[in-house]
Amino acid sequence: MIDITTTQTFTFEVIATDGDARAGVFHTPHGDIPTPVFAPVGTQATVKSIMPRDLKSIPAPLILANTYHLHLRPSSELVKEMGGLHRFMGWDGPILTDSGGFQVFSLASINKIDDEGVTFQSHIDGSRHRFTPESSMKIQENLGADIIMAFDECPIPTDRMIVERAVKRTTAWAQRCRDAHPDDAVQALFGIVQGGVFPDLRAKSAEEIQAIGFPGYAVGGLAVGESKTEMYKTLDFTLPLMPADKPRYLMGVGEADDLIEATMRGIDIFDCVMPTRVARHGAALTPEGRVNVKKQIWARDERPIQDGCNCYACQNFSRAYIRHLHKADELLGYTLLSLHNITFLIRHMEQIRAAIINGTLSAYAKEFLDLYLHRT
């Protein structure tokens, strides 16, 4: 089957389905994004410890950068002056920027939210900054990413009173973002569905955000404190409410089991800082789950991190060497393990996509999850 939605320079086509899972392609001015896809996070215009050359060699079809952090330094105006984010960071593939909305949640102790926007206290120097839907759009336009996100309020997902208020604000802010950025010719503006773990609030948010109209939609407010069971149930009742002909993005989710569970429910795009963050603490992602590379058992192990992995780390170095680097706090250890972890997740998504196309997703999911979760 082929299903194409056109938004000027951005098109999304679903080329195969297996149950609710979809294999597709999102066409952007900086290249095609095969979906489902995992996007490594380059918070400050760099994926930590990895050169763009190495991301291209994997290849990483999409990367994410952070509006809040780039606003604080070096500033979106400077990035624009330097030719935009693609030129500034030496990346010619697709880029997605978030809106700063997640920092409304993660930096709650140093911000103040009202119906007009959010006042932040910089975590760098304590200076105060004002974010509104309009300023978020201006900052993201300056940065020049391909996919940009509407400014939203990400609430504690299990507190109904807080979630109700967040849904109301998210809708109002989404309309203001759409008014400030009415043309998706150069940058595709995605709307965000909030609603916590409450079916009626998710339904309300989905209806209101779709009424505004966007070329893609995200599910926000998950993986922020609720259980995996609650997250999956929320996806079960939210995704049928979202358009089948537009890409669906689950924000901030990157655990390998969550990727397959969410894809089977109909998600197309994922991002997460997890693979590089855990790498800095010495954790390797493998088909058998996470492995602590600092353990003594690796001290004389000549095998690669993962047999059969084609990443640069596994093709060239032993477990013993990787362990040595991390025990000695050598920066190369962070680079090699981050490169492996990102490759692991991108290969996982490639295999999921192939399984959808071949109609074998259920078999792949069972085999992968049984091993990864140590099911007997």
In the chain the domains, ranked by start, together with CATH numbers, are: 3-272 (3.20.20.105), 281-376 (no CATH)
What global pTM score does this model have?
0.96
Q: Catalytic: 271?
A: yes
How is the beta sheet containing 10-18 ordered, strand by strand? 3-7, 10-18, 21-28, 31-35
What is the chain's alpha carbon radius of gyration, rounded to the nearest angstrom? 20
Q: How confident is the model at residue 155 (pLDDT cuts 50, 70, 90)?
A: confident
With contact defined as beta carbons under 8 Å apart, do 345 and 260 qualify? Answer: no
Percent of the chain predicted with pLDDT > 70: 96
Least confident of 122-136, 193-207, 228-242: 122-136
Q: Residue 82's pLDDT is what?
A: 98
Query: Mean pLDDT over all residues of the chain?
Result: 95
Cα distance between residue 225 and residue 158, in whole Å: 8
Least confident of 17-31, 106-120, 155-169: 106-120
Residue 5 reports pLDDT greater than 70: no
How is the beta sheet containing 269-272 ordered, strand by strand? 37-40, 269-272, 248-250, 217-219, 188-193, 147-149, 95-97, 63-65
* Residue 84: Cβ within 10 Å count: 17
222: which residues sit within 8 A by CB, 6+ positions away? 157, 231, 234, 235, 250, 251, 252, 253
Cα distance between residue 271 and residue 253, in whole Å: 6
With contact defined as beta carbons under 8 Å apart, do 259 and 345 qualify? Answer: yes
Region for residue 185 given its phi and psi (left: phi exceeds 0; alpha: psi -120 to 50; beta: otherwise): alpha
Residue 215 reports pLDDT greater than 80: yes
> Does residue 74 have a cis peptide bond before it, meaning omega lies within 30 degrees of 0?
yes
Residue 319 reports pLDDT greater than 90: yes
pLDDT in tens, 114-130: 999 999 888 888 888 89
Residue 110 reports pLDDT greater than 80: no
With contact defined as beta carbons under 8 Å apart, do 35 and 58 qualify? Answer: no
CA distances to 153, 214, 268, 301 from 131, in Å: 12, 21, 29, 51
Active-site residue (options: 98, 146, 184, 258): 98
- Return the higher-pLDDT residue of 128 and 96: 96
* Token digits of residue 122: 């910089």
Q: Residue 105's pLDDT is what?
A: 64
Q: Mean per-residue pLDDT for 151-156?
A: 91
Cα distance between residue 37 and residue 105, in whole Å: 25
Q: Residue 280's pLDDT is what?
A: 97
Active-site residue (options: 54, 152, 268, 271): 271
